[in-house]
Amino acid sequence: MTLPAVWIVHTNEIAPESDSANALAALLSSDERARRQRYRSAEARHGFLLSRGLLRNVLAQISGHTPESLEFSVSDSGKPALFSAPELHFSLSHSGQWIALAVSCESDIGVDIEQPRKPRDFLRIARHYFHPEECALLESSPLELLPVHFYRLWTMKEAFFKARGTGISEGLGRINLAGFHLGQGIALDATIEDTGAPWQFSYTMQPLADGNHLHLALAGRDPALGEMGVEQIHRGIHI
């Protein structure tokens, strides 16, 4: 299997209480079963089941272990790792009815998926969270391209901070992607420690049946991230 790679799943692909759903539930640890039950809605419980089932099946296939035998640890910052294969780096993302999992064997990785579901005031959000140069870029965008440019910046930022293991609370405006958007690279706030290989990004729009698109971004220091092909984007859970 070629890594890095990303898997995308829609929650309707496996029906709740179906044989496939029950097979996934049998893979969960006691801690995961308890976490699943803490979700108040059946929809949220089903989404958690599919995300953990996807994670266990994919990492088992890559590592050569059985899905139910996998054990995970969590760092102080909340970043998970696989005990039996710590060299595998992974990241999960959820949006609406979609789940994404990214895996790399070279470096920490972050993934973000966004399913646009309602109109947004993109410029207002950008002015609150983004770098001023990114806001200027969006303000100069043709109106019909504004949503695409906004979601490209947003998902790449989310993926970047997830790869760092900090989350967006570190400050979305502390990375400036305006130059990257124009093919000139990224700029980081001087207070962000940045050692190691250069950051790499991958961004795609996945077409949906209703004519809309999913926005999908990955970030990390794996050199192959910037050259990911369609064959490295997988759909569904193989049970």
One DSSP character per residue, 177-221 reads: -HHHHTTS--EE-TTS---SSPPEEEEEEEE-TTS-EEEEEEEES
Distances (CA, A) of 182 to 18, 93, 146, 161, 237: 47, 26, 15, 21, 36
Closest CA to 20 of 49, 63, 59, 42: 49
Q: Determine the pLDDT at residue 211.
A: 80
Q: Where residue 36 falls among pLDDT bands split at 50, 70, 90? A: very high
pLDDT band at 183 (very low <50, low <70, confident <90, very high): confident
pLDDT band for position 35 (cuts 50, 70, 90): very high
pTM for the model stands at 0.94
Place of tokens 């539930």: 25
pLDDT, greater one: 50 or 74: 50
The rounded distance, in Å, linking the Cα atoms of 67 and 210 is 34
Residue numbers of the domain that contains 167? 5-235
> Is the predicted pLDDT of residue 167 greater than 80, yes or no?
no
Residue 177 dihedral angles phi and psi, to the nearest 5°: -100, 10
- The structural domain count of the chain equals 1
The average pLDDT across 180-209 equals 85
The whole-number average pLDDT for the span 177-195 is: 83
Question: pLDDT tens for residues 57-85?
Answer: 999 999 999 999 999 988 777 788 999 89
Mean pLDDT along residues 21-29: 97
* Mean local confidence (pLDDT), 133-154: 95
Average pLDDT, the chain: 92
Average pLDDT for residues 137-151, to the nearest whole number?
94
How many percent of the chain have pLDDT more than 90? 73
Q: What is the CATH number of the domain that holds 165?
A: 3.90.470.20
